[in-house]
């Protein structure tokens, strides 16, 4: 079963919601299965999450919707419909569903505003913002780099919780107005959103990386020690500790019979642990690659293609060489790149009819690097752009290719030659 197929996933989510509607007691097991499904869906940026939908741009920032969002949106809507039944048993099923949908949408709008708080402050301080993604655990602003100063890190981190606190205040005012006007539906929605935005702000201020509070902690440690790496490592360790607390709390709730809260709390802990661990792994990777340039890891024996080569001939080369990526050159100048993806997008009957030039990614649309760029920087750009390779250019001439695999092979060889505790050639 290919879990990366979004249509299959949506169908499975629909089945899950249907089962939940029939047997509400299945909620924790469906949530567990849904989260595992999302985890197995695909692997990108060093962390597992589903393929995303591009929604467009708002305020110059790209918005994406992870397919896992549909799971939490549907479950949240269903849960809110049940909640509003307890709030007012006289409301019809249609009224409760409309209120639940409005509340769920406003909640995710609040999450989006929280992430925009981070993003707009980051952009104001000179840190680029690649995109904002909504997913099963909320939202995430993807920055193009790290802040250069502890002060900037603090301001970017604290901006999100401040936005959530501001929204909590706005919904508190709306709640007061609705009570004065005796508008029960608006009162119920405003009460829930006031509470959840306040909870969102307070939760994110927990001092455990990668939560906003963990980033605030890192900024304070960075300012105190002057060492970003040490501050990041300490904040990540604290984040792992916070994650264990959440997992333990979830298990305690499960033992107490609170299945829904227990499963959800444990999964939050699991997510925080994975994120903090990923940060520590990234630090270790940076240490291993410190002082290493692209020149030392790039592939020099890259077979290249002529722009006029028929795709059918290219397929023969792919089958014989096993390579999945080919630079397209014209007089040693890079004019494009062909990957297995471009070939697979064509029907077989078109292979003999089309040339490499017609299917290649043009050079102007490619990210490139130079032999002197730090490997860590090149790898970060590959991860950020979700590509597996960068052509290497020197004075405009194609000289090689650096790939994620070539970096991994370098690391594997270096680790074998220089085990932990021994100084390597760049140590």
| Backbone torsions φ then ψ of 42, nearest 5 degrees | -165, 165
Q: How many CA atoms does the CB half-sphere of 65 hold within 13 Å? A: 14
DSSP code string of 218-256: HHHHHHHHS-HHHHHHHHHHHHHHHHHHHHHHHHHHHHT
Helices (H), 125-258: 150-181, 184-204, 212-225, 228-255
Q: Which of 62, 115, 229, 358 is catalytic?
A: 115
C-alpha 356/C-alpha 249 separation (Å) is: 57
| Helix, strand or coil, per DSSP, at residue 205 | coil
Secondary structure of residue 89 in the 3-state scheme:
coil
Q: Which residue has the tokens 């006031």?
A: 194
Which contiguous run of DSSP H or E holds residue 183? Answer: none
pLDDT tens across 279-316, in order? 787 777 777 777 788 888 888 877 777 888 888 887 77
Token readout for 287 is 């240490």
* Domain definitions of the chain by residue range: 6-205, 294-417
Active site residue 115: yes
- Classified by CATH at the fold level, domain 294-417 comes out as CBS-domain (3.10.580)
The DSSP symbol for 340 reads H
Reported pTM: 0.66
pLDDT in single tens digits along all 427 residues of the chain? 333 444 444 444 454 545 444 445 444 444 444 444 444 443 333 333 345 778 888 888 888 887 777 777 887 888 888 888 888 888 888 888 899 999 989 998 999 999 999 999 999 998 888 888 887 667 788 787 778 889 999 999 999 999 999 999 999 999 999 988 888 888 999 999 999 899 889 988 988 777 889 889 999 999 999 888 888 888 888 888 988 998 999 889 888 877 767 777 887 888 788 888 877 877 777 777 777 888 888 888 777 778 888 888 877 776 666 677 788 888 778 888 888 777 777 777 777 788 878 888 888 888 888 888 888 888 878 876 777 888 888 887 888 888 888 888 887 777 776 665 444 444 4
Query: What does the pLDDT read at residue 118?
Result: 92
Tokens at residue 239, please? 């984040």
User: How much is the CA Rg of the chain, to the nearest whole Å?
Assistant: 25
């Amino acid at each position: 079963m290919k879990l990366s197929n979004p249509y299959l996933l949506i169908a499975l989510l629909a089945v899950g919601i249907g089962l939940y509607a029939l047997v509400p007691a299945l909620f924790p097991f469906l949530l567990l299965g849904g989260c595992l499904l999302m985890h197995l869906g695909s692997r990108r940026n060093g962390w597992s999450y589903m393929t995303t939908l591009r929604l467009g741009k708002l305020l110059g920032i790209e918005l994406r919707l992870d397919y896992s969002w549909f799971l939490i949106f549907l479950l949240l809507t269903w849960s809110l419909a049940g909640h509003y039944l307890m709030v007012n048993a006289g409301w019809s099923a249609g009224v409760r569903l409309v209120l639940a949908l409005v509340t769920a949408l406003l909640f995710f709008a609040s999450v989006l505003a929280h992430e925009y708080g981070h993003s707009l402050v980051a952009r104001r301080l000179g840190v680029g913002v690649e995109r904002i993604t909504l997913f099963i655990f909320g939202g995430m602003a993807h920055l193009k780099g790290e802040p250069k100063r502890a002060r900037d890190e603090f301001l970017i981190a604290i901006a999100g919780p401040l936005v959530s606190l501001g929204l909590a205040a706005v919904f508190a005012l709306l709640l007061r107005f609705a009570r004065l006007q005796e508008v029960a539906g608006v009162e119920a929605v405003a009460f829930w959103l006031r509470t959840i935005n306040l909870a969102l702000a307070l939760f994110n201020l927990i001092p455990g990386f990668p939560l906003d509070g963990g980033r605030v902690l890192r900024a304070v440690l960075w300012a105190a020690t002057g060492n970003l790496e040490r501050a990041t490592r300490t904040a990540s360790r604290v984040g792992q500790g916070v994650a264990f607390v959440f997992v333990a709390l979830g298990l305690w709730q499960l033992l107490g019979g609170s299945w829904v809260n227990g499963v959800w709390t444990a999964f939050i802990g699991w997510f925080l642990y994975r994120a903090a661990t990923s940060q520590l792994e990234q630090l270790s990777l940076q240490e291993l690659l410190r002082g290493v340039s692209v020149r030392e890891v790039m592939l020099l024996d890259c077979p290249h293609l002529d722009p006029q080569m028929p795709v059918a001939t290219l397929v023969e080369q792919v089958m014989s060489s096993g390579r999945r990526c080919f630079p397209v050159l014209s007089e040693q100048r890079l004019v494009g790149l062909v990957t297995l993806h471009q070939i697979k997008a064509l029907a077989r009957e078109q292979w003999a009819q089309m040339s490499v030039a017609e299917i290649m990614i043009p050079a102007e649309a490619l990210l490139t690097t130079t032999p002197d760029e730090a490997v860590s920087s090149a790898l970060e750009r590959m991860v950020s752009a979700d590509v597996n390779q960068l052509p290497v250019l020197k004075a405009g001439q194609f000289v090689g290719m650096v790939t994620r695999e070539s970096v991994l092979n370098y690391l594997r060889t270096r680790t074998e030659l220089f085990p932990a505790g021994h100084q390597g050639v760049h140590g």
